[in-house]
């Protein structure tokens, strides 16, 4: 078979010319095995337990997630449109029939020619992410719908050959790296096993025969999403294809971070996760950039990758690094007409809370089908960027303090807790430390400019104190105003004339 080579960042990666043959898959799988055999990491959990979080990942605190794809064309409901439009009785089903006609006449695949991305400007996107204060960017390389946002030799259904006819992941990765941003990639391919399956329940454009490489393949029956032993379980052919697609992303784009959605926790995927992690970690060491995998729930054994919490946070500080991901919109990860947007101040509070507990925030935006980032998304990112330009020293390269914070507002533990969270009050604070200074982030500005931080009080019995050091000075980041302060047995009392609709950061210099 003819080989073709591509050069990226000084590395040469070899790919076979595109073919649907089993010989092609087998040769690529053998190549993956050779890389694993030659590297320090083997495809077993005992070996992978030797992986350690690299220093660069410990230092990053704020990243950008991007959900953009064919689902951005209908811009209705959410990014699960491709599934829901084939389920009778759903809003997406009724909208689709009313707007585009029966699914047998106009199916999801028919949105691909309408996904033109004619205004996609990766340089402008990267500039915006820099202004937002982000340190890393993770575009979705392939979502549940099965459309690859990158140049692929495993399926024709990719953005380089169809729709935009551009290597979206490659162009954006280069633009971000040129601006000093770390880049990653997100794969939601595993969920494609069942994602299009409801289209077989009635007369639609999803029907047999389907084979590997087809857009809708395999369109299997959908079970309980949280049942890690649900059947029918993914086949070897599907899992081999998943592994090859993921390794293709690794070899072509050298992502510093690989993010996976939840369904990789299915029992059938476990042998493939070991192989994928060993391959990725070994390849990243060749590049001199130790890599990170983000996972949800218990898809990976603890300590072999970095856990991620979706639309939620942890209630307490963790002794390990972790990530939270959420979106600028409450109702969807992709752009829809009528998105329900969160306030920038609320997202900044999320960032402060997460960093104080040893985490980092991955914040999602949803571009429109034409490649523009909506004005609402842009405004939110720029507000966050302006806040970070003033208060970033309390976030970037900051470390956890002995306690994460104080205040009456409780944070629900774990995934999807943000919908049930109450607003922060002016008695809620978060703590970080850097270069010997302590930072107190007031999550909501006080109406009268008075603050009482009880963790920094000086009780008569010093053995009961959270802090028994000497405070030299207290200042407000971004302001020359002198903060009046005194320390009593119950709290550090601060008074300032500064009023703001954003969190305020006090810097406590300690002798």
pLDDT tens per residue across span 151-168: 999 999 999 999 999 999
Instruction: Give the pLDDT band (50/70/90) at residue 20.
Output: low
Q: Between 6 and 337, whose confidence is greater?
A: 337
Is the pLDDT at 85 greater than 70? The verdict is: yes
Q: CATH number of 425-510: 3.40.50.300, 3.30.360.10, 2.60.40.1840, 2.60.40.1180?
A: 2.60.40.1180
CA-closest candidate to residue 211, choices 156, 289, 255: 156
CATH (residue range 3-10+18-99+115-186+232-259+268-392): 3.20.20.80
CA-closest candidate to residue 301, choices 89, 102, 49: 49
C-alpha to C-alpha distance for 478 and 492, rounded to whole angstroms: 21
Residue 433: which H helix or E strand, with range? strand 429-434
**Averaged over 446-470, what is the pLDDT?**
92
Residue 238: which H helix or E strand, with range? helix 236-253
What does the block give as tokens for 73? 């064309």
**Averaged over 322-349, what is the pLDDT?**
98
Instruction: Give 7-59 as a 3 state SS string.
Output: EECCEEEEEECCCCCHHHHHHHHHHHHHHHHHCCCCCCHHHHCCCCCCHHHHH
Instruction: Give the pLDDT band (50/70/90) at residue 16.
Output: very low
Q: Give 60's contacts (C-beta < 8 A, 6+ positions apart).
A: 135, 136, 182, 360
**Averaged over 81-103, what is the pLDDT?**
98
C-alpha to C-alpha distance for 300 and 292, rounded to whole angstroms: 12
C-alpha pair distances (Å), 387 with each of 192, 364, 463 = 39, 18, 37
Q: How much is the pLDDT for 371? A: 98
Query: 376-387 b/e with 16+ CB inside 10 Å = b?
Result: bbbebbebbbbb
Q: Give 22's contacts (C-beta < 8 A, 6+ positions apart).
A: none
Instruction: Give the pLDDT band (50/70/90) at residue 21.
Output: low
Instruction: Describe the crossing of helices 22-38 and 236-253 by its angle, rounded to 10 degrees.
Output: 60
Q: Give 33's contacts (C-beta < 8 A, 6+ positions apart).
A: none
Instruction: Give the pLDDT band (50/70/90) at residue 18.
Output: very low
CA-closest candidate to residue 457, choices 509, 497, 494: 494
Please confirm whether the linkage preceding 232 is cis (ω < 30° from 0): yes
Q: What is the pTM of this model?
A: 0.95
Give me the residue spans of the domains in the chain: 3-10+18-99+115-186+232-259+268-392, 425-510
Mean pLDDT score of the chain: 95
Sign of CA dihedral 215, 219, 224, 230: negative
**Averaged over 35-64, what is the pLDDT?**
97
* Helix, strand, coil distribution of the chain in percent, nearest 5: 35, 20, 45
pLDDT in tens, 226-269: 999 999 999 999 999 999 999 999 999 999 999 999 999 999 99
Percent of the chain at pLDDT above 90? 93
388 by Cβ neighbours in 10 Å (0-12 / 13-18 / 19+) ranks as: buried
C-alpha pair distances (Å), 111 with each of 80, 103, 190 = 14, 12, 22
CA-closest candidate to residue 359, choices 139, 65, 63, 66: 63
Instruction: Give 128-189 as a 3 state SS string.
Output: HHHHCCCCEEEEEEECCCCCECCCCCCCCCECCCCCCCCCHHHHHHHHHHHCCCEEEEEECH
């Amino acid at each position: 078979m003819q080989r073709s080579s591509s050069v990226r960042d000084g590395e040469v990666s070899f790919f076979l010319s595109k073919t649907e043959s089993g010989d092609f898959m087998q040769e690529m799988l053998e190549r993956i095995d050779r890389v694993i055999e030659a590297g320090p990491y083997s495809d077993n959990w005992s070996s992978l337990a030797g992986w350690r979080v690299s220093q660069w990942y410990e230092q990053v605190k704020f990243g950008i997630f991007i959900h953009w794809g064919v689902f951005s064309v209908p811009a209705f409901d959410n990014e699960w449109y491709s599934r829901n439009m084939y389920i009778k009785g759903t809003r997406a089903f009724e909208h689709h029939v009313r707007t585009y006609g029966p699914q047998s006449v106009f199916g999801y695949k028919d949105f691909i020619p309408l996904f033109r991305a004619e205004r996609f400007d990766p340089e402008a996107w990267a500039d915006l992410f820099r202004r937002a204060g982000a340190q890393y960017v993770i575009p979705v390389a392939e979502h549940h719908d099965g459309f690859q946002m990158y140049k692929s030799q495993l399926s024709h259904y990719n953005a380089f050959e169809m729709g935009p006819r551009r290597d979206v992941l490659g162009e954006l990765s280069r633009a971000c790296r040129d601006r000093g941003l770390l880049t990653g990639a997100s794969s939601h391919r595993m969920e494609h096993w069942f994602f299009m399956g409801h289209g077989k329940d009635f007369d639609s454009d999803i029907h047999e025969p389907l084979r590997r490489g087809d857009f809708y393949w395999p369109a299997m029956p959908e079970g309980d999403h949280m049942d890690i032993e649900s059947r029918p379980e993914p086949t070897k052919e599907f899992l081999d294809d998943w592994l090859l697609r993921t390794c293709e992303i690794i070899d072509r784009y050298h992502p510093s971070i690989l993010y996976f959605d939840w369904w990789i926790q299915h029992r059938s995927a476990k042998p493939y996760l070991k192989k994928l992690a060993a391959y990725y970690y070994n390849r990243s060491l060749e590049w001199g950039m130790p890599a990170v995998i983000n996972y949800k729930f218990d898809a990976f054994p603890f300590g072999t990758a970095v856990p991620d919490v979706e639309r939620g946070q942890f209630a307490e500080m963790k002794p390990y690094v972790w990530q939270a991901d959420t979106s600028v919109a409450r109702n969807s990860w992709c752009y829809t007409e009528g998105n329900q947007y969160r306030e920038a101040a609320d997202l900044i509070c999320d960032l402060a809370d997460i960093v104080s507990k040893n985490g980092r925030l991955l914040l999602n935006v949803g571009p429109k089908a034409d490649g523009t980032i909506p004005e609402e998304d842009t405004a939110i990112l720029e507000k966050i960027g302006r806040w970070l330009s003033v208060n970033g020293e309390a976030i970037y390269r900051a470390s956890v303090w002995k306690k994460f914070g104080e205040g009456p507002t409780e944070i629900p533990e774990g995934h999807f807790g943000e919908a049930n969270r109450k607003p922060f009050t002016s008695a809620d604070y978060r703590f970080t430390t850097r270069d010997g200074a302590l930072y107190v982030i007031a999550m909501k500005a006080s109406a009268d400019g008075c603050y009482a931080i009880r963790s920094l009080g000086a009780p008569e019995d010093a053995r009961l104190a959270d802090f028994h050091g000497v405070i030299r000075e207290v200042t407000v980041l971004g302001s020359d105003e002198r903060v009046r302060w005194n320390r009593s047995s119950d709290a550090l009392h601060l008074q300032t004339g500064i009023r703001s609709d954003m969190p305020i950061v006090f810097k406590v210099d300690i002798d």
